[in-house]
Amino acid sequence: MRRELHAEWTKLRTLPSTGRLLLAVAVLTVAVSALSAAAVSTRLCRSPGGCHEDTVKLGLSGVGLGQAAVVILGVLAMSGEYGTGTIRTTLAAMPRRSTLFAAKAAVVSGSAMAAGALGVLGSLLAARLILPGNGFTPAAGYPPISLADGPTLRAAAGSVLYLGLIALLSLGAATVLRDSAAAITVVLGLLYAFPVITQLVTDPDWHARMQRYAPMTAGLAIQATRNLGRLPIGPWPGLGVLAAYAGAALLAGGVLLRARDA
């Protein structure tokens, strides 16, 4: 396994797109989170009881866009080899396909989580600096964002795990489809179109059910730190839903990688 891990890491880090995509994960996450924090103010609240903003979730809102770069990274890690034909060389050098696939999954998800961790920490720091100036102060019932707070730490760590699972979902889809454009379209559609379709459902039972099983909506429940009882699904069960999607994609990809010719 060590040889496969070293080979996959060497391939991934030498791709010209890898550095740009990992940088995009961190930069997009921080930028969108900072803009979201700057756009919200207690002065804009219209509720008689005042604001009920989940400042931690708000501070992590950039993960929803940063994941797009993770999707592209996960897809290109596999489909790029099929597109160039280097998959034949890879399989000739490392004929144990299951071990090869596991090593690729570990390297891709690990890289995504490393970049995601930088983005998450930067986002929380930006929110901690910006939000007090918009009225989200301890006096208003909003203590400073801190990783020493259990729910905040869970939201931060869960967001990093979320991005790792998105990378695995994308890798699995790329292995099944073998085409970069098709795999990126399918995964992004699954993530971004599913919530839009959910909003068009008028039946409240089906609406709640679809929110519980939409991969992005369910997975990002891990970021919530307030009013957890109002969520369609709990933070950890929601992340479990995304893990099930990623696991199914990896299982299908692994089976087809072993069964098909290069």
Q: Which two tokens mark 224? A: 């919530």
Residue 48 banded pLDDT, cuts 50, 70, 90:
very low
- List pLDDT tens digits, range 114-150: 999 999 999 999 999 999 998 888 888 889 999 999 9
Q: Is the pLDDT of residue 178 over 80?
A: yes
Confidence of residue 196 (pLDDT cuts 50, 70, 90): confident
Tokens 């009225």 -> residue? 135
What's the mean pLDDT in 101-110? 95
Question: Model pTM greater than 0.85?
Answer: yes
Please count the structural domains in the chain: 1
pLDDT tens-place string over residues 204-216: 778 778 888 999 9
DSSP 163-229: HHHHHHHHHHHHHHH--HHHHHHHHHIIIIIHHHHHHH---HHHHHHHHHH-HHHHHGGGG--S-GG
Q: Which one, of 222, 39, 27, lies nearest residue 127 by Cα?
A: 39
The residue range of the domain holding 30 is: 2-259
